[in-house]
């Protein structure tokens, strides 16, 4: 597909590199020449210097022939204007980043309709949702839901004393009397899709899929289940914190906010009386203790600095807060966080990339199945995809054990009539099913791609 991406900031470049890796034709647009020079040296893309709302610049970028225009400049209004113009000039689909909370009430759907936007993305809101997911299930470092939330995939790191360690995978299901599937394992830096005779070790990072109720059974049986975080401390009054506080309050948690700007504290307390805000520097350990750090179930550091977030989270871990999450933007910091033993790291960049990639794949999809959900697992080395099977194809009505699948492909779940099936060799895929597939080291566009 030909994609025009306007605005090459942090999120812009992350999107660019992910979309180029998918093999799309990309035109990057920005009004800073030095940024574009760097990009042409790194990626196989065409660069256009210009303002995205300038018709001539859009024409230079070939907007009339483009399948998708993604506007992620710093200004919401510019993004909207740009998408409107490109749609009028012949672009097939448009995505705009709209992050101002004021546009995010009832007016958003009206705006989207009037501007003919295919999708609007709000990185902060998406990140807050991701954080909420993790806070709701404290054992996991990451959690993704498929098909209207009754089928879930969680990522967690095994401790050496975990009851899952040292067992063959095929014996686990009987032992814990729960229906689940361990579908991807990262050991050291290698990602594998394990077979039944695979034996887990302490330190492995695993991804497992199960129905929500089954998942709870498993977590209880293995002693990993903990109740949802009741007392949450947030550092930094960013937009993410704002959305997250709102969600946490409405799900009945207590929220403590630490923010150094008094005006921002007021904005929180004005909008949400339930938030207890403390005005002060979150890096002062004294202040954290005074605000009750050691009594918290969860701690989320959301300041604008990766380094600060990392250290704050590390400190909270030392204070035995049971769940610690750090927001981190730079990829190299994520690796560092892992070495410091911080498993829960949320990157707004990755969240947005996941959403846009899913959309781009869905645009391309063909042959009787389409992508409903796409998640990147294990730092992008594997993917979990949910397909809808629209019509009969050569893989339907065939027992799974007779399907000849490519290497590194696993069918992790079949969702039929609100029920999740953890597939065994005799199960079949039927039209109308939703199928969750795990793919390691390769990309899939359609369900038929899994066959040899």
Binding-site ranges for another protein (CB under 8 A): 2, 20, 25-27, 33, 40-47
Min dist CB 24 to another protein, Å, is: 8
Classify 433 in phi/psi space as left (phi over 0), alpha (psi -120 to 50) or beta. Answer: beta
Min dist CB 20 to another protein, Å, is: 6
CA distance 379 to 450: 22
Indicate the residue among 26 and 125 with the shorter CB distance to another protein: 26
Question: Any residues with CB less than 8 A from the CB of 52 and at least 6 apart, and which?
Answer: 6, 7, 29, 58, 71, 73, 78, 79, 82
Tokens 């906010």 locate to 257
To the nearest 10°, report the CA torsion of 228, 225, 160, 176. -160
Min dist CB 382 to another protein, Å, is: 22
Question: Any residues with CB less than 8 A from the CB of 305 and at least 6 apart, and which?
Answer: none
Indicate the residue among 46 and 233 with the shorter CB distance to another protein: 46
Min dist CB 33 to another protein, Å, is: 7
Indicate the residue among 27 and 241 with the shorter CB distance to another protein: 27
Indicate the residue among 24 and 217 with the shorter CB distance to another protein: 24
Min dist CB 43 to another protein, Å, is: 5
SS3 content of the chain, % helix, strand, coil (to 5): 35, 30, 35
Min dist CB 356 to another protein, Å, is: 17
Min dist CB 350 to another protein, Å, is: 20
β-pair partners for 432 = none
Indicate the residue among 39 and 277 with the shorter CB distance to another protein: 39
Min dist CB 362 to another protein, Å, is: 21
Indicate the residue among 23 and 166 with the shorter CB distance to another protein: 23
| Burial grade of 314 (CB within 10 A; 0-12, 13-18, 19 or more) | middle
User: Within 10 Å of residue 226's Cβ, how many Cβ atoms?
Assistant: 13
Contact between 440 and 381 under an 8 Å Cβ cutoff? The reply is yes
Min dist CB 64 to another protein, Å, is: 10
Indicate the residue among 23 and 223 with the shorter CB distance to another protein: 23
Contact between 371 and 358 under an 8 Å Cβ cutoff? The reply is yes
Question: CA geometry: angle at 342 spanning 302 and 318, to 5°?
Answer: 90
Indicate the residue among 38 and 308 with the shorter CB distance to another protein: 38
CA distance 3 to 93: 9
Indicate the residue among 45 and 71 with the shorter CB distance to another protein: 45
Min dist CB 45 to another protein, Å, is: 6
- Residues, the chain, total? 452
Distances (CA, A) of 71 to 304, 338, 358: 23, 32, 17
Indicate the residue among 18 and 182 with the shorter CB distance to another protein: 18
Distances (CA, A) of 414 to 4, 36, 106, 170, 242: 35, 44, 36, 19, 37
The pair phi, psi for residue 259, each rounded to 5°, is: -150, 140
SS3 25: strand
Indicate the residue among 45 and 83 with the shorter CB distance to another protein: 45
Give the torsion sign (CA, 46, 98, 277, 129). negative
Min dist CB 441 to another protein, Å, is: 16
């Amino acid at each position: 597909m030909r994609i025009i991406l306007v605005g090459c900031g942090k999120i812009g470049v992350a999107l660019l590199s992910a979309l180029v890796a998918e093999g799309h034709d990309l035109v990057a647009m920005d009004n800073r020449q030095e940024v574009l020079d760097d990009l042409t040296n790194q990626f196989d893309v065409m660069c256009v210097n210009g303002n995205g709302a300038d018709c001539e610049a859009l024409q230079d970028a070939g907007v009339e022939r483009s399948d998708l225009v993604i506007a992620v400049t710093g200004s919401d209004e510019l993004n909207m204007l740009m998408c409107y113009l490109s749609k009028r000039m012949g672009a097939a689909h448009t995505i705009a980043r709209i992050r101002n909370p004021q546009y995010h009430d009832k007016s958003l759907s009206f705006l989207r309709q009037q501007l003919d936007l295919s999708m609007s993305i709000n990185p902060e809101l998406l990140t807050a949702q991701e954080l909420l997911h993790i806070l709701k299930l404290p054992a996991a470092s990451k959690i993704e839901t498929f098909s209207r939330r009754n089928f879930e995939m969680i990522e967690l790191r095994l401790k050496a004393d975990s009851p899952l360690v040292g067992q063959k995978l095929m014996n686990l299901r009987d032992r814990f009397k729960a229906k689940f599937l361990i579908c991807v394992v990262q050991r050291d830096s290698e990602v594998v899709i394990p077979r039944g005779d695979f034996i887990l070790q302490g330190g492995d990072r695993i991804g497992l899929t199960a129905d929500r109720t089954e998942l709870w059974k498993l977590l209880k049986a293995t002693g990993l289940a903990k109740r949802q975080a009741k007392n949450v401390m947030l550092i930094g009054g960013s937009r993410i914190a704002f959305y997250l506080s709102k969600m946490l309050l409405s799900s009945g948690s207590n929220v403590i906010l630490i923010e150094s700007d008094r005006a921002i504290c007021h904005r929180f307390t004005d909008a949400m009386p339930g938030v207890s805000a403390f005005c002060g520097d979150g890096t002062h350990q004294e202040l954290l203790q005074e605000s009750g750090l050691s009594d918290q179930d969860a701690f989320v550091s959301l300041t604008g600095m990766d380094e600060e977030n990392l250290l704050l989270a590390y400190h909270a871990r030392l204070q035995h807060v049971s769940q610690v999450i750090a927001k981190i933007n730079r990829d190299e910091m994520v690796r560092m966080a892992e070495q410091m033993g911080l498993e829960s790291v949320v990157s707004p960049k990755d969240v947005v990339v996941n959403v846009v990639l899913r959309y781009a794949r869905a645009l391309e999809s063909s042959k009787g199945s389409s992508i409903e959900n796409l998640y990147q697992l294990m730092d992008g080395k594997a993917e979990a995809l949910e397909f809808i099977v629209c019509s009969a194809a050569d893989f339907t009505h065939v027992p799974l054990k007779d399907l000849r699948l490519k290497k590194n492909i696993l069918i992790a779940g079949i969702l039929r009539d609100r029920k999740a099936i953890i597939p065994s060799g005799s199960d079949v895929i039927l039209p109308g099913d939703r199928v969750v597939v795990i793919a390691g080291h390769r990309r899939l566009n359609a369900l038929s791609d899994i066959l040899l």
